[in-house]
Structure 1
Amino acid sequence: MSAGGRPLEGFLVLDFTQVVAGPLAAMILADLGARVIKIEPPQGDAARQLGPNPKRGYLGGMFETYNRDKESIVLNLTDEADRARALELVDRADVLLESSRVGVMDRLGLGAEAMTERNPRLVYASITGYGERGPNAERGGVDMSLQGETGWMSITGEPDGPPTKLGAVPIDVSTGHVAAQGILAALLGRTRHGKGEIVRVSLFDVGCHLHAHDFTDYLMMGWTARRTGNFPAVTAPAGVYETADGSLVLAAYMPHHWKAALAVFDDSRLEDPAFASMRDRVMHRETLVPILQSILKTRPTAEWVARFDAARLTTGEVRDTGQAADSDQFAAAELALEFGGAEGRDVRTLRTPARFASFGPREHARAPQLDGDRDDVLTWLND
């Protein structure tokens, strides 16, 4: 790869997926240089309906974020002529990514075995709710339902509170990254062995693996993790505390961190032998937390963060999304992408997190209009 080149330049990805996980995986491949053709049903990706504001020319954060740098063509896969076009695209593709329920693509004549037999160099990636086997294989799944099924809601929230969902869609997003990882590994394998691959990723598997340590505790010892609110079960002090003007996170449970925290707090109540070791502090958390809370309420967040930073303690201000986006760190990290969109409207979104020494962000295009690239794709296909 020449300096400034992208590892997937010249690769063609067919994105049959919708909403978050699959579109994110395909977008990661686009960031790495691939051409991504998004194949949509006549009604379009369902994410086009999640929060759009057509009067402002805005398709909504869910669609705009995960579909930039793609081309869109509508193909009705139940129509013989459109299915034939899809097969022509498969013949030229390096990657096919789909997120239908188990069996749907097979019934359409576009299943993994048939397509990899047709194009032996094809990497065929499927994202499903529960995988190909088991009693739930044919069920659909979304992030929230899988948060319930994989134990996340049982460990989120206050100890005496109800099951609580996480604030975003972490299983969907993580599944997208895992799918991209699997596709890249399969492409590397193709380079070495000359054959394509079938990659399968499920929301259920990813949801479990995101807290694999809890499953290990259960499988090894029969321990079931429970909700502990804003304070981890096995470390102290660690948690979310109110300050004079907001909240912060403090983690000072290692022996040298606790010693440094004592110097910052300068409060004799914390010299109690009951707080001498981390095990002691966990056992006496109900006494320790109110003391820390009473101290932290006396000063504003920024002052505490500065003091803890000076003592090399792990801390952070609790912010909302807007405050995070307006922070100096966000600007320094150059996380924001801004590029021209349709009708002169600029698009502002986020770059993907991985950074590379030999190339920077590509020249971006906003998420496509439904079927907006049909003529270009068909012209290219007929060349």
Structure 2
Amino acid sequence: MHLSNLDLKVCDFTSRLPGPLAGSILSDLGARVVKLELENALDPFNPKNANSPEEMFGAWYKNLNASKEQLVIKSLESSEVKNVLEESDIALIPGNKKYSVLKELFPETLFIEVCGGSGNQKYLHDLNALFLTKSFKLHLEATNGDTLPYLPFAGVVFAQQIALEALGAYVESTSGKKENRKIYLDQAASRVLDKLWTNSLEDSETPKALHTGKYPCYNIYQSSDGRYIGLAAVENKFWIKFCEIFNLTFSLEDRFDESGRTGQSISKMFLSYTGKEIEELIGNSDICINLFPKKEKE
């Protein structure tokens, strides 16, 4: 799918992760996207913002906005805002009153409001939204709540939903049905992530499934030099080839062994090789196994 033939123009007033990522997705699809920031209220991820909390956010800001035109504006009443909005098909705006006035001033533009909570809790961060999903139990049980998710999964899901809703609303507007939309973080996270939830997980005290380390054929291991190995030899042909390459005598049934014995044997086997040796053994064989590159010492 590519939007270049539509000559789609988007202005992005949002900040932090979900809105800018949605704008980046639309840009990747061929839309022309302009990011606008108020001079006295820069995006908190912008390294030029004195209150930007950490270095990683600055790198995210650069990646999320690399393909956009960028403008710093003095106010929402500036001529630059007027010019950009009059040329835009879609505007991504934060869900607050300060930006809502733009909908009245520019009725021809389609506005997508990026909001937090849909209920009484209006302000949500990624972690709050995850706690409102059933599926987050998988993470809590697996880590005993000792570790935060490293990536903001709710925000990433939210960004995808914003982009989809924006495109859906735009398509409808081309047939004469223009309707501004509000998209909520909690609803987006639950709508997507809870599709992966099942009653069997609800009833389990320590929910485990294929994707959470239940079986040895789909798990993370380590080499003797500390490289991580992602093994996902679930299908018959991949498991058979995996066993053949590493001289293992496991049966097809062993890939779903829940006793821990098969997994321990595989772990011991991988620890007898360096990452480079494993890569050489695999060669060009496509058996659903990957190694993380070794981090070079500084």
TM-score interval, smaller chain = 0.7 to 0.9
1:15–1:38 contact (8 Å) kept in structure 2? yes
Q: 1:302 to 1:7 in 2, by over 3 A?
A: farther
CA distance in 2, matches of 1:203, 1:256: 41
Other-structure match for 1:189 = 172
Q: 1:288 to 1:209 in 2, by over 3 A?
A: farther
What is the CA-CA distance between 1:318 and the residue it aligns to? 2.6
Other-structure match for 2:21 = 24
Tell whether 2:38 aligns with 1:40.
yes
Question: CA-to-partner distance for each residue in 1:98-148, whole Å, 9 max, x for gaps?
Answer: 123xxx22x665275x46xx52x42211121223xx333xx2112233233
Q: 1:251 to 1:277 in 2, by over 3 A?
A: same
Question: CA-to-partner distance for each residue in 1:272-295, whole Å, 9 max, x for gaps?
Answer: xxx7265xx3432x2221111111
Unaligned ranges ≥5, structure 2 = none
Q: TM-score, normalised by structure 1?
A: 0.63
Q: What is the percentage of aligned positions where both structures have the same residue?
A: 15
Other-structure match for 1:130 = 117
Residue 184 of structure 2 aligns with an amino acid whose one-letter code is: S
Unaligned ranges ≥5, structure 1 = 324-383
Tell me the secondary structure at the aligned position of residue 185 of structure 1.
helix
Tell me the secondary structure at the aligned position of residue 298 of structure 1.
coil
1:40–1:75 contact (8 Å) kept in structure 2? yes
Tell me the secondary structure at the aligned position of residue 46 of structure 1.
coil
What is the CA-CA distance between 1:222 and the residue it aligns to? 4.5
Choose which of 256, 260, 266 in structure 2 pairs with 1:292: 266
CA distance in 2, matches of 1:209, 1:235: 28
Question: CA-to-partner distance for each residue in 1:293-351, whole Å, 9 max, x for gaps?
Answer: 1111111223324434554310111348x78xxxxxxxxxxxxxxxxxxxxxxxxxxxx
Question: CA-to-partner distance for each residue in 1:191-230, whole Å, 9 max, x for gaps?
Answer: 2x13423233222233234433433x13x88546856599
Residue 238 of structure 1 aligns with an amino acid whose one-letter code is: Y
Other-structure match for 1:61 = 59
What is the CA-CA distance between 1:242 and the residue it aligns to? 1.2
Larger relative contact order (CA 8 Å, sep ≥ 6): 1
Other-structure match for 2:10 = 13
CA distance in 2, matches of 1:244, 1:158: 29
Question: CA-to-partner distance for each residue in 1:44-91, whole Å, 9 max, x for gaps?
Answer: 1111243678xxxx99212212223223232445xxxx3898567545
1:175–1:203 contact (8 Å) kept in structure 2? yes
2:90–2:112 contact (8 Å) kept in structure 1? yes
Question: CA-to-partner distance for each residue in 1:126-179, whole Å, 9 max, x for gaps?
Answer: 121223xx333xx21122332333256532277363253221223223322321
CA distance in 2, matches of 1:18, 1:194: 30
1:157–1:228 contact (8 Å) kept in structure 2? no
Residue 252 of structure 1 aligns with an amino acid whose one-letter code is: A
What is the CA-CA distance between 1:254 and the residue it aligns to? 2.2
Other-structure match for 1:373 = none
Q: 1:225 to 1:201 in 2, by over 3 A?
A: farther
Tell me the secondary structure at the aligned position of residue 62 of structure 2.
helix
Count of equivalent residues? 288
Q: 1:296 to 1:221 in 2, by over 3 A?
A: closer
Tell me the secondary structure at the aligned position of residue 212 of structure 2.
coil
What is the CA-CA distance between 1:35 and the residue it aligns to? 4.6
CA distance in 2, matches of 1:35, 1:160: 39
